[in-house]
Amino acid sequence: MRSLLGACFFVLALAASALAQEKPLSTSKEMDQTVRITVTGEIEFDYVWRRQEITAFTGGVSGSSVPGDSASENTFEGFAALRMNIELSDKVSALLEIGTKRVDGGKINFFAGPNGAGGSTALTVQLREAGIRINELFMPELSLQAGISQWGFDVRNRGESLAFDLRHSQRFSRNVSAASDNAATLRNRAHDPEELEPVGFWLRWERTSFALDLVALPAVIEGGSPNNDEAVYALDLLYTADSKGSRIGLIVAAIDDPGGRSTVFTYGGGVDWKGVENFDVYGEFYFQNGWNNGPAAGITPVKVGGYAFQVGARFDIPGDFKPWVEANLTYYSGDGDAVANGKSSAFLSYENVHDLLILEDMYLGFDWDTNYRAIKISGGIALNAGAKNNLKLMTVVGLTQTAQTVRFPTDTTHKLGNEVDVKIAWEMTKQVVIDLGVGFLFGSKVLELSMGGPAAPDAERQTILFTLGMNLRF
């Protein structure tokens, strides 16, 4: 904890020093044309309690927790980051961010383990962001970003991408299987959290309501020599249809797996329509074809043919407390073959859907992200707690199943379970937010069978998660 406090103090001290300057920061006399250097930062600090059914599959502080040998854990986790936005001229700027990572190398990083015990791995300072942006490249509408790319494809622009958010996702091929999900699936998905750092180029042409992106990321996952890197190449189009923010998006992408032994093409897009006052109606659809060699080198590639979609609607109810309700159907195809047949129907993606704390959240829960069907009904209000509408309360109910059967040695099931979450966010100031979340998963036969079945002493169909934390930006 002393190391954590020292790291936080260091970040705050640097920020305070920068903000105290009456003039823009300058580098040296030789670099007197530097326009401005802006220093910002972020600290996320969360207390998380996971019941033993969750730590059994996420690995826990030890990283080795498994069904039959796991316990509920209290942990402190999060990250600290310091960012510099450097304006070199009216057209050229750079971004540099260093700090810790919340998840890395397939593990959740902890500031402290159960009851304050050891196990801290989160304080290794790393390069989180690095890039150069050139505006008005050859023409006013054209810009170029090179370095660790911030590109993603999010039609609704709400921070939850159904298919492409590389910065908050795992390796593309982790769900490849020529047969159906099985007894090892839950651990494989929950035991693989990661935040990728895709390196390459992002070229954007933008004019009035249109934006066209050409993306080349030859090193999404660095595998040594260039031909061993996971790579993404994409072309997308976004059109803003009206002043309310209605959008249409289309994308085609090619993903090369390490070694160049296979390529998967993804096609799709969506519509977010806000043409009626207080209503937001949306839908997205993606499908795939190609070949994928799976997570290990040297195996026979499988033919890929998955698809995914979501549809939903949100209604913002007029009123002082800004009440709202939303209904959503999310679907990721799975593979139902009992025996591997050289084909995989599971949808592969760099998704970042995290409406449900336990089933969907990569940082807190299982991150079940393919072979998945969920009906989610949510709603919320914004109360006054020292300021207008700064206390946001919401709840979400998720009714979920697997799209295809999960096969266990003694049984098969579609019952992934139902989840009820309650979330509270108190915006103390523009810089500080206190978050609280409680998740309850029940009726999950997949969870029970993954823990050994009804006869196993620790096997349960339900589990609970609690989190309380603070996010500070400056």
pTM of the full structure: 0.90
Ranges under pLDDT 70 in the chain: 1-34, 113-123, 222-228, 258-261, 294-299
| Domain membership flag for residue 44 | no
pLDDT, tens digit, 9 for 90 and up, residues 49-77? 999 999 999 998 888 899 989 999 999 99
Cβ-based burial of 304 (10 A; exposed 0-12, middle 13-18, buried ≥19): buried
| Domain membership flag for residue 371 | yes
Instruction: Identify whether residues 121 and 228 lie together within a single domain.
Output: no
| Domain membership flag for residue 376 | yes
pLDDT of residue 292: 82
Count of beta carbons in the 10 Å neighbourhood of residue 54: 27
Instruction: Identify whether residues 180 and 313 lie together within a single domain.
Output: yes
Q: Quick check: 80 and 8 in contact, CB under 8 A?
A: yes
Instruction: Identify whether residues 95 and 224 lie together within a single domain.
Output: no
| Domain membership flag for residue 64 | no
CATH number at residue 304: 2.40.160
Instruction: Identify whether residues 108 and 217 lie together within a single domain.
Output: no
Q: How many domains does the chain have?
A: 2
pLDDT, tens digit, 9 for 90 and up, residues 407-439? 999 999 999 999 999 999 999 999 999 999 999
pLDDT of residue 20: 43
Place of tokens 């990321």: 217
Residues of the domain holding 10? 1-19+76-130
Place of tokens 């997949």: 446
Place of tokens 């998006």: 249
| Domain membership flag for residue 316 | yes
pLDDT, tens digit, 9 for 90 and up, residues 200-233? 999 999 998 999 999 999 988 765 545 567 899 9
Domain limit, last residue, from 91, 106, 130? 130
Instruction: Identify whether residues 96 and 150 lie together within a single domain.
Output: no
pLDDT of residue 425: 97
Instruction: Identify whether residues 198 and 251 lie together within a single domain.
Output: yes
| Domain membership flag for residue 45 | no
Instruction: Identify whether residues 327 and 234 lie together within a single domain.
Output: yes
Instruction: Identify whether residues 213 and 327 lie together within a single domain.
Output: yes
Mean residue pLDDT across the chain: 88
Instruction: Identify whether residues 140 and 124 lie together within a single domain.
Output: no
pLDDT of residue 366: 96
Sequence-separated (6 or more) residues with CB below 8 Å from residue 130 = 95, 96, 97, 147, 148
pLDDT of residue 15: 45
175, 176, 182, 185: CA torsion to nearest 10: -20
Instruction: Identify whether residues 209 and 332 lie together within a single domain.
Output: yes
Instruction: Identify whether residues 286 and 330 lie together within a single domain.
Output: yes
Q: Quick check: 344 and 306 in contact, CB under 8 A?
A: yes
Instruction: Identify whether residues 83 and 151 lie together within a single domain.
Output: no
